[in-house]
Amino acid sequence: MIRNVIFYLTMILLTIPLCCIAIFSSAFDKKGIWIHSNISVPWAKLLLFISGIRVSVTGLENITKGKQYIFATNHQSYFDILALLSFIPVPFAFIMKEELMAIPLLGKAMQSAGYLGISREDPRKAIHGINKAIEKVKQGFSLVIFPEGTRSLDGKLNEFKRGAFNLALKTKLDIVPVAIDGSFRIVKKGRLYINKGSFKLKILPPIPTSSISKKEIPNLVIRVKNTIEENLKHDS
């Protein structure tokens, strides 16, 4: 309980001023790469350290620094965000649901870091969001997508949405499947209490997409989902 209090108190006291700094910094860091590397990443590493949660990371050898990717990851808890920020060694933009960008202060700070919200309800706005994601790639960012669109209650994969994979067709970036295994036990969806423990972050070999066609997108979705599924344990 004490660790929980310390964690959330630190999160509040740290996040509010850092959000303000990020928003102010966007005046000279238009792309958001500096904000991502010097605000988002240290913020995540500090919170992960204070939480006492251990993350076992494998597969870093699958990432070549200086190269861009689309990281497609399952989603089990908000600790996934902390782990991805802490351990993926290339600058990236989160692609998330549009509603998160409406959170006061935090939403604006995430925009300042180059992160994007894409509508799940309005096709026109979704296309606009995809075009903005393509622009982020041109600016040097990799992308992190959550094909399930929401967190899993029990660690098992939800249905993968095809829309996120259209970015592969547009950008021709290799897709890196990322399996997050066990973080749903750390914080249950809809709750705040942090349980003691650890989870795994598995960065899997890239899947080339340079020659992919539109009709092959469904097979790509299945391949990525199966790759992640094979790296999850279901002993919940």
pLDDT for position 219: 92
Structural tokens at position 108: 């604006």
Inside any domain, residue 234: no
Q: Are 96 and 116 in contact (CB under 8 A)?
A: yes
pLDDT in tens, the chain (236 residues): 888 999 999 999 999 999 999 999 999 998 999 999 999 999 999 999 999 999 999 999 999 988 999 999 999 999 999 999 999 999 999 998 888 888 999 999 999 999 998 877 777 777 888 888 999 999 999 999 999 888 888 888 988 988 778 888 889 999 999 999 999 999 887 788 899 999 999 999 999 998 888 888 999 999 999 999 999 975 44
Strand partners, 93: 143
Query: Could you tell me which residues come within 8 angstroms of residue 29 by beta carbon, excluding any fewer than 6 positions away?
Result: 35, 112
φ and ψ at 31, to 5 degrees?
-80, -35
Inside any domain, residue 235: no
Inside any domain, residue 236: no
pTM of this structure: 0.92
Inside any domain, residue 21: yes
Helix axes 2-25, 41-51, angle to 10 degrees: 180
Inside any domain, residue 157: yes
Residue 47 is part of which domain span?
2-229
Structural tokens at position 198: 């650890």
Query: Could you tell me which residues come within 8 angstroms of residue 232 by beta carbon, excluding any fewer than 6 positions away?
Result: 74, 155, 156, 157, 179, 181
Residue 168 belongs to a domain with what CATH number?
3.40.1130
Nearest to 47 by CA among 95, 81, 90: 81
Structural domain tally of the chain? 1
pLDDT for position 236: 46
Q: Are 35 and 25 in contact (CB under 8 A)?
A: yes
pLDDT for position 206: 96
Nearest to 70 by CA among 130, 121, 27: 130
Inside any domain, residue 100: yes
pLDDT for position 81: 96
